[in-house]
Amino acid sequence: MCNDYELNMALEEMNEAIDRQLGLQLRLPLPAPGSNAVAMDVPRSLYPRLQGLIVRPIDAGNPQEGLQPELAYWNLTPGFHKGTLKEWKASTNNCRSEEMAEKSSFRNALRKRRCLIPATSFFEWTGPKGTKTRHRISRRDGDLMLFAGLWESAITPDQGAVHTYTMVMRSAVDDHDVAPFHDRQPVLLNRETAATWLDLTVDYKSALAPPPAGTYVFDPPEPRAA
């Protein structure tokens, strides 16, 4: 499962990448007074329960209208939870694609609140316990990665309304690039599958396909035996 990823890209550059890769535009926040820079700090190193950046449709019923970037906490907290984010003890930063339609934590978000999770790299670990090696995984072509995600809104007693999200994971088997490093992988989207994933009126399952062989590059390139 994915518990560590990076997003080393400014919003303006991300907007260009999403336009090029998906044919969609981001609605960027207005610049701060007296500045030309977009008034949103993009978190760079992401771990569960920290704030990260998601990209979601401006209008869930019409994703082609455009997307908006938003900060959310990486550990989906369902709307039925009435406590603080800290009091939500479940690890819900990842959700299994084959279970999300049935799991109470995810099924409502799957029906109503899908998003994209931008990343420039993610990480997996291999080797013996205590001496594991951290492998950086990124696209061979250098493009931005856009993973399938779900987001939720919860009302908390200490922070009020907060948004949280989870990364959709699928199996990594056979000739999948990630298989030697882990048996699960994020769902990487392209122009066609992102359109399917964000369209709440169609069957999303075709969007869960693995990326073609050779999509990823690994550093270090070889996994270590446990």
* pLDDT, tens digit (0-9, with 9 covering 90-100), for 95-142: 999 999 999 999 999 999 999 999 999 999 999 999 999 999 999 999
pLDDT by position in tens, the chain (length 226):
799 999 999 999 999 999 999 999 999 876 656 655 566 788 999 999 999 999 999 999 999 999 999 999 999 999 999 899 999 999 999 999 999 999 999 999 999 999 999 999 999 999 999 999 999 999 999 999 999 999 999 889 999 899 999 999 999 998 999 999 999 999 999 999 999 999 999 999 999 999 999 999 999 999 998 8
* Coil/strand/helix, residue 1: coil
How does DSSP classify residue 144? P
Q: What is the pTM of this model?
A: 0.95
- Tell me what pLDDT residue 28 has: 84
- Tell me what pLDDT residue 208 has: 98
Degrees, nearest 5: CA angle 15-54-115: 100
- Tell me what pLDDT residue 32 has: 58
**74 Cβ contact list (under 8 Å, min separation 6):** 46, 47, 48, 49, 50, 51, 52, 93, 164, 165, 166, 167
**135 Cβ contact list (under 8 Å, min separation 6):** 123, 124, 125, 126, 181, 218, 219, 220, 223
- Tell me what pLDDT residue 1 has: 77
Multiple choice CATH, 5-219, 1.10.760.10, 3.40.50.12780, 3.90.1680.10, 3.30.300.20 = 3.90.1680.10
